[in-house]
Amino acid sequence: MEPSELATNLKSKKNIPLIFSVGPGAVIPTSRDIGMTKETENLDKFKDQLSGLSQNTPIVVYCGCCPFEHCPNVRPAISLLKQMNFTNYKLLDLEHNIKIDWIEKGYPTN
């Protein structure tokens, strides 16, 4: 999901998915702070948060600690969503990091 799309949804208060921060900190409003999912205890916390949700619940996952190719947190989170058979999830496209791709663009923050 493009950051601009999520920012527009947050501003309009329409079509807001469940947003999970799977990195070092929750910056985006309404996002649930899971912690870095490279760590087993945080991945377990994410699994607990997902338990009981409908598998077609709209979900957006983001980290933002570094560029995707180096990020140790998004892959475990996405793998867990696949393993739990979720079908309506997206990865927020923070190509560089949360600072460049979200904060510096003036999108809503906590």
Q: What is the pLDDT of residues 51-80, one digit of tens each?
A: 999 999 999 999 999 887 889 999 999 999
Longest CA–CA span in the chain (Å) reads: 36
Q: How far apart are CA 52 and CA 87, in angstroms?
A: 14
Which whole number is the average pLDDT over 84-100?
A: 96
* 3-105, CATH topology level: Oxidized Rhodanese; domain 1 (3.40.250)
From the CB of residue 44, how many other CB atoms can be counted at a distance below 10 Å? 13
pLDDT digits (tens, 9 = 90+) for 3-35: 999 999 999 999 999 999 999 888 999 999 999
